[in-house]
Amino acid sequence: MVEQLKAQPPRTRSLRNLTVESAAPDANPSLSLLIQFDFNSSTVKPESQQALANLAQALKSKELLGSKFAVEGHTDAKGSADYNLKLSQQRADAVRSFLVSNGVMDARLAAVGKGSTELANSADPLAAENRRVRIVNLN
């Protein structure tokens, strides 16, 4: 995870529950996590906590200590734009809180709700992969 969040040439990799997005050369490195939440909920499900604990460890590594990150919450297109924006913000806040409770300094993390404005799978707006949390290195 550390290498995926550091600035480097673009490439795509898939790991269990994680998809690293190919980035344009000038884009910030990012990591998408398929974090599970109950329907209409911002509580992180237990089965996603290990992936977030691994992310917290990566963010605390010496290679990333000088970096700040956006924690972006994304939803699928079901529901109104206002509702999805609110839910995505709540989910981003929940992930940020989890990371802080696992030792990541809160000043390094900004939670941002994106709603359904940036679908990972625009061909299927209701697809599960659209319901995700994306971590973006802001440096």
Which residue type sits at 135? Answer: I
What are the structural domains of the chain? 2-137 (3.30.1330.60)
The pTM score is 0.81
Tens of pLDDT, residues 48-77: 999 999 999 999 999 999 999 999 999 999
In the chain the beta strands, taken as DSSP E runs, fall at 13-15, 18-20, 30-33, 69-74, 109-115, 132-137
pLDDT of amino acid 5? 75
Which has the higher per-residue pLDDT, 6 or 63? 63
**Are 29 and 5 a contacting pair, CB within 8 Å?**
yes
Beta strand 30-33 pairing with 18-20: antiparallel
Name the percent of the chain lying above pLDDT 90. 65
pLDDT of amino acid 129? 87
**63's torsion region: left (phi>0), alpha (psi -120 to 50) or beta?**
alpha
